[in-house]
Amino acid sequence: MTEPISANPSPLASDPAIAGHIDAIVAAARAAQARITGARPADPARQASFAQAMARTAAVRGRGPLMPYLGAGMGNGPLVELADGSVKWDMINGIGVHMFGHGDPRMLAAALRGALSDLCMQGNLASNPDSVAFAEFLVQEASRTSRLAHCFVTNSGCMANESALKVCMQRTGGAPRVIAFQDCFLGRSVTMSQIGDAAAYRQGVPLSTLVDYMPFYDPQLGARSTEMAVWHLKQYLHRYPGQHACFVMELVQGEGGFNVAPREFFMALIETCKAAKIPVWDDEVQSFGRTERMFCFEALDLGAHVDVVTVGKMSQACACLLTAEMNPKPGLLSGTFTASTSAFSVGLEALRTLRDGGHYGPDGANARLHAAFREHAARLIERNPSCFEPVRDAFGREHRNWVGGTGGMCRFTPYGGSKDRVMKLLHAMFEEGVMAFYCGHDPYHVRMLPPVGVMRPEHWGPVFEIVERAMRK
């Protein structure tokens, strides 16, 4: 497939001499990366300077990061070298931003081509063809199985979500209320932190946005869970008729715990919304590209029903896609910055590679990587039963669903989901050579977002060896 508009960021990119220089730079980078083959401890000679750098980081930010991560600017696929000389398996990748890991030669070459442009940053009044090609790519892929027709590009997932909310509010005549799932997360702007279901993220923020929270799918209840969710939704619609701007749905919950639900659950809620003329907004900022289809709505066959979709993270630039009828009036959406030219170049390279590289479908690379994760997690549980006690849900019910997620969204639940013990394990994993994070709320899970563009199923072996070593510590 070819792009409908030239995506070359600069005529210089086609100059044979410059192309040769780019090839030479990439080759030199690959030679340097070759020494990074697995996890290794810090270099004692660099630890003092690393500690000073981390202290300066904490001083300038007001507090230190959760993990002492400060990169050396060098990595090799799923592996990254830190400034102290240690090498870690990066299983979180900036919360899913770096789908192709560290130092991928295709992404490096694309970034160098982008750097040849006259524009470092593009925006509303200064755009080059590659920004149009980026938006057209997303519309082209989305419209194959949906009614999405337009794309507004912006500089973060949070701003894509702000744009989606404004579009929905304008479409519904300024309706003030939002329907969202419990445990959702949409970003940290004033408005998005109010919609997101985490009290810690809105401490001190005046609550000016009206949000009605819905229960997410409960696999232990099955069809009964769907019936209860529809009942809750109808109660809100009866209580606040004509007051809802949208129902925002994460089809796979990210921060909420990598929770999934069947198509029937979403369809029952969508049909109720459609009957009440409430737009359906699908937030795929974290899940985009990581399931068995590029768009999660496609994997669940919901494309005909979504009105607005937001994507980001792995695409480098972020976007709000919308149907023709949701297209807003002039002035509602704009932005000084959309993304850097290199981000557009890398984003397009990543999107094309994922589309054409066998990543999607039930037998695609994403599905195979997740299946391998589950196999290794099952063996971890079998060898360490004392670390996997029954998990209690919000109703106090016990279950043994210790492994979850889909595609490149992977999580497991040790220690009954205790936050304190999960956090201690994450720190121990980091020290041993694996970077991961947490997700969920009572229970808490170990969250992994492996770089599916470069990670292979066999990489899980050394990753889980380190996880088990950390667990036994």
How many domains in the chain?
3
- Written as six digits, the tokens of 232 are 């809750």
Give the pLDDT of the chain (473 residues) as one tens digit per residue: 444 555 666 778 888 999 999 999 999 999 999 999 999 999 999 999 999 999 999 999 999 888 999 999 999 999 999 999 999 999 999 999 999 999 999 999 999 999 999 999 999 899 999 999 999 999 999 999 999 999 999 999 999 999 999 999 999 999 999 999 999 999 999 999 999 999 999 999 999 999 999 999 999 999 999 999 999 999 999 999 999 999 999 999 999 999 999 999 999 999 999 999 999 999 999 999 999 999 999 999 999 999 999 999 999 999 999 999 999 999 999 999 999 999 999 999 999 999 999 999 999 999 999 999 999 999 999 999 999 999 998 788 899 999 999 999 999 999 999 999 999 999 999 999 999 999 998 899 999 999 999 999 999 999 999 999 999 98
User: Is residue 455 one of the residues assigned to a domain?
Assistant: yes
Q: In the listed set 309, 334, 356, which residue is the last one of a domain according to the structure?
A: 356
Q: In the listed set 92, 112, 132, which residue is the last one of a domain according to the structure?
A: 112
| pTM for this model (two decimals) | 0.95
Q: Are residues 128 and 101 in the same domain?
A: no
User: Is residue 155 one of the residues assigned to a domain?
Assistant: yes
CA distances 319 to 35, 195, 199, 259, 284, Å, are 37, 19, 27, 23, 10
Q: Are residues 77 and 131 in the same domain?
A: no
**338 close to 317: Cβ distance less than 8 angstroms:** yes
User: Is residue 107 one of the residues assigned to a domain?
Assistant: yes
Q: Are residues 331 and 184 in the same domain?
A: yes
CB neighbour list of residue 93: distance below 8 Å, 6 or more residues apart? 99, 101, 449, 450, 451
Q: Are residues 91 and 151 in the same domain?
A: no
Phi, psi at 41, each rounded to 5°: -75, 170
| Structural domain for 326, as ranges | 121-356
Predicted local distance difference test score (pLDDT) of residue 4: 52
Q: Are residues 416 and 316 in the same domain?
A: no
Q: Are residues 16 and 105 in the same domain?
A: yes
**305 close to 313: Cβ distance less than 8 angstroms:** no
Q: Are residues 127 and 207 in the same domain?
A: yes
Angular region, 453: left φ>0, alpha ψ -120 to 50, beta rest: alpha
Q: Are residues 298 and 329 in the same domain?
A: yes
Q: Are residues 141 and 23 in the same domain?
A: no
User: Is residue 361 one of the residues assigned to a domain?
Assistant: no
Q: Are residues 290 and 216 in the same domain?
A: yes
Predicted local distance difference test score (pLDDT) of residue 473: 87
> In angstroms, rounded to a whole number, what is the distance separating the alpha carbons of residues 263 and 24?
49
Separation of CA 263 from chain center: 21
- Written as six digits, the tokens of 29 are 């980078």
Predicted local distance difference test score (pLDDT) of residue 181: 98
- CATH number of the domain to which 218 belongs: 3.40.640.10
Q: Are residues 66 and 158 in the same domain?
A: no
Q: In the listed set 356, 376, 410, which residue is the last one of a domain according to the structure?
A: 356
Q: Are residues 283 and 336 in the same domain?
A: yes
Q: In three state form, how does the secondary structure of the chain look? A: CCCCCCCCCCHHHHCHHHHHHHHHHHHHHHHHHCCCCCCECCCHHHHHHHHHHHHHHHHHHCCCCCCCCCEEEEEEECEEEECCCCEEEECCHHHHCCCCCECCHHHHHHHHHHCCCCCCEEECCECCHHHHHHHHHHHHHHCCCCCEEEEEEECCHHHHHHHHHHHHHHHCCCCCEEEEECCCCCCCCHHHHHHCCCHHHHCCCCCCCEEEEECCCCCCCCHHHHHHHHHHHHHHHHHCCCCEEEEEECCCCCCCCCCCCCHHHHHHHHHHHHHCCCCEEEEECCCCCCCCCCCHHHHCCCCCCCCEEEECHHHCCEEEEEEHHHCCCCCCCCCCCCEEHHHHHHHHHHHHHHHHCCCCCCCCHHHHHHHHHHHHHHHHHHHCHHHCCCEECCCCCEECCCEEEECCEEEECCHHHCHHHHHHHHHHHHHHCEECEEECCCCCEEEECCCCCCCCHHHHHHHHHHHHHHHHC
**259 close to 216: Cβ distance less than 8 angstroms:** yes
